[in-house]
Amino acid sequence: MTTEQGNVLLLGIGNTVMSDDGVGVTIIQQLQQRYDFPERVTVVDGGTLGLDLLPMLENLQQLILVDAIETGQQPGQWVRLVGEELPIALETKLSPHQMGVKDLLAVARLMGHSPREMTLFGIQPKQIEMDTELSPEVAAAVEPVIAAIISELAAIGATARERSHPVR
């Protein structure tokens, strides 16, 4: 990890009406409610926007993605992947938006807008079906992943401050 100052995009991807597929968005929403971020950190609920997110990747030092990904592990297990591990992790298409993330990163690279550093916090889903609730296993991963993201930001000098009264 670098301590070089630069813009950081914290991006949650997923569909909140497809149960565990929405975990990335759920985590981003929790972060937005509970923390204040330095000016250089942009926190975005990317939903299922795919290539529409391309302009946000310009001039980034670091992209931190949060998403449900197929890891072959137990539901709720999460991984932290960096750099070139990301395209490999996104090879297994879990849901329609994931092809969008892979395409987004490929197009950004072709246009010369690849973030200098990329990190993915990926959570193994239990179920991807019409439901607005996360499975208990995936819901249990939300707090540990939030803590890992806050640590990741602090390590690059972009410390988030927890609010005394979360925004609802």
pLDDT by residue (tens digit) across 15-26?
A: 999 999 999 999
pLDDT of the chain along its 168 residues, tens only?
444 568 999 999 889 999 999 999 999 999 999 999 999 999 999 886 766 777 788 888 899 999 998 888 999 999 999 977 776 666 655 555 455 677 777 777 777 777 888 899 999 999 999 999 999 999 999 999 999 999 999 999 999 999 988 887
The answer to whether the CB of 44 falls within 8 A of the CB of 56 is: yes
Domain assignment present for 3 = no
Domain assignment present for 63 = yes
Domain assignment present for 80 = yes
Sheet of strand 8-13: strand arrangement: 41-47, 8-13, 62-68, 117-123, 78-82
**What pLDDT score does 87 carry?**
66
**β-bridge pairing 78-82 and 117-123:** antiparallel
Domain assignment present for 103 = yes
**What pLDDT score does 2 carry?**
43
Number of domains in the chain: 1
The span from the CA of 103 to the CA of 98, in Å, is 9
The answer to whether the CB of 23 falls within 8 A of the CB of 140 is: no
Domain assignment present for 129 = yes
The span from the CA of 11 to the CA of 74, in Å, is 24
**What pLDDT score does 115 carry?**
81
Domain with 56 in it: what CATH number? Answer: 3.40.50.1450
Q: Which domain holds residue 87?
A: 8-162
Domain assignment present for 168 = no
Domain assignment present for 167 = no
Domain assignment present for 61 = yes
